[in-house]
């Protein structure tokens, strides 16, 4: 039986957030943002270990108390220049430590998606359990899509049929994911699935919802705060 591992790339600086503290440490619902992703992944009974990949120069992680996650949480300080580099370095470090086997499932999840729910995570695990390739949480595009020229004038309205927004976790077998990321080492890819697609494989889209959005801009923090607060009141 394959094991399940989560890997959280958390070596970014959060430049679009425009704050000096990297966004994964910004306070959200009384915790650093990354806590919420760690919490849902560490509490999942199918996931054996949760690996966090930090920037080698990260001085913030060790100022917080993570002891509640015990030995389910592993920290690697091998983050790279891009998200894909951080994921690839984390995967290679896990293999070097004999932690993972080639057929194990790896769930890559952004530190900046703190609103992932246990039920979305379980749906992903359940729907992809017997899959050959793997896949990702995603939502069908809801807005009308405009193509623009360099002056922001509309040149076309694009059909949104069959278009989805990719989220995380993205779940692939170790062997496929590492090969995909090695093949695309110098290509500007922004998620794991696109590297897998370039191998000619078709990851499966698993229906999620917009609450699992990526906190990117300053105004996103208030929305994430509201979502988490609202859940607490209704627990
Ligand atoms: N990430 C990473 N290593 C990098 C860049 C990003 O591990 N070199 C991680 C981020 O920490 C985040 C996830 O990848 O958890 C998604 O990336 P993004 O939302 O783009 O975060 P940042 O790159 O930090 O933000 P920005 O692009 O605004 O600078
Ligand atoms: Mg980025």
pLDDT in tens, 111-155: 999 999 999 999 999 999 999 999 999 999 999 999 999 999 999
Looking at the CA of 191, which ligand is closest?
Answer: 1
Question: Closest ligand 1 atom, CA of 214?
Answer: 19
- 9 pocket-lining for ligand 1 (C-beta < 6 Å): yes
Amino acid 235: pLDDT: 60
pLDDT at position 186 is: 87
CA of 22 to the centre of ligand 2 (A): 11
SS3 call for 128:
helix
* Assigned token pair, 8: 């959280």
Express each pLDDT in 48-104 by its tens digit. 999 999 999 999 999 999 999 999 999 999 999 999 999 999 999 999 988 999 999
Beta-ladder partners of 173:
105
**Pick the residue with more confidence: 2 or 233?**
2
CA of 224 relative to ligand 1 center, distance in Å = 17
Index of the ligand 1 atom closest to the CA of residue 111: 15
Q: Find the 9 Cα to ligand 2 centroid distance in Å.
A: 11
Please tell me the pTM assigned to this model: 0.96
Q: State the burial class of residue 15 (Cβ atoms within 10 Å of its Cβ: 0-12, 13-18, 19+).
A: exposed
Q: Residue 234: pLDDT band by 50, 70, 90 thresholds? A: low
Looking at domain 4-234, which CATH architecture does it have? Answer: Alpha-Beta Complex (3.90)
The reported pLDDT for the residue numbered 18 is 95
Q: pLDDT tens-digit profile of 187-230?
A: 999 999 999 999 999 999 999 999 999 999 999 999 999 999 99
| 26 close to ligand 1 (CB < 6 Angstrom) | no
31 falls in which pLDDT band (50, 70, 90)?
A: very high
pLDDT tens for 4-28 read 999 999 999 999 999 999 999 999 9
Question: Which of 71, 78, 72, 74 is CA-nearest to residue 92?
Answer: 78
- Whether 90 and 53 have beta carbons less than 8 Å apart is answered as yes
**What integer pLDDT is reported at residue 233 of this predicted model?**
66
Give residue 72's pLDDT.
97
Q: What's the token pair of residue 133?
A: 């390739």
- Would you say the CB of residue 10 lies under 6 angstroms from ligand 1? yes
The closest ligand to the CA of 170 turns out to be: 1
Q: What is the pLDDT of residue 221?
A: 97
3 lines ligand 1 (CB under 6 A): no
Residue 146's pLDDT is 98
Closest ligand to residue 22's CA: 1
**Nearest atom within ligand 1 for CA of residue 23:** 24
Give the E-state strand segments of 141-183 in sequence order. Answer: 145-148, 154-158, 164-173
Can you give the C-alpha Rg of the chain in angstroms?
18
Measured CA to CA, the distance from residue 9 to residue 94 in angstroms comes to: 13
How many angstroms is it from 94 CA to the middle of ligand 2?
A: 23
């Amino acid at each position: 039986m394959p094991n399940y591992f989560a890997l959280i790339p958390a070596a970014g600086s959060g430049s679009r957030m425009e704050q000096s503290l990297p966004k994964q440490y910004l306070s959200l619902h009384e915790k650093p943002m990354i806590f919420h992703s760690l919490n849902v992944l560490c509490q999942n009974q199918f996931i054996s270990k949760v690996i966090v990949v930090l920037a080698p120069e990260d001085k913030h992680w060790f100022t917080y108390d993570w002891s509640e996650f015990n030995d389910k949480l592993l920290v690697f300080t091998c983050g790279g220049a891009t998200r894909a580099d951080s994921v690839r370095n984390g995967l290679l470090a896990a293999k070097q430590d004999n932690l993972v086997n080639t057929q194990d499932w790896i769930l890559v999840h952004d530190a900046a998606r703190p609103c992932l729910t246990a039920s979305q995570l379980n749906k992903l695990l359940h729907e992809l359990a017997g899959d050959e390739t793997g896949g990702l949480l995603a939502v069908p595009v809801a807005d009308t899509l405009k193509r623009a020229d360099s002056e922001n004038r509309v040149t076309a309205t694009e059909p949104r049929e069959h278009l989805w927004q990719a989220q995380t976790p993205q779940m692939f077998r170790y062997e496929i994911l590492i090969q995909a990321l090695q093949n695309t080492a110098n290509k500007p890819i922004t998620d794991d699935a696109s590297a897998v697609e370039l191998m000619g494989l078709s990851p499966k889209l698993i229906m999620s919802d917009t609450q699992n959005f990526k906190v990117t801009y300053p105004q996103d923090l208030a929305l994430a705060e509201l979502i988490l607060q609202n859940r607490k009141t209704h627990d």
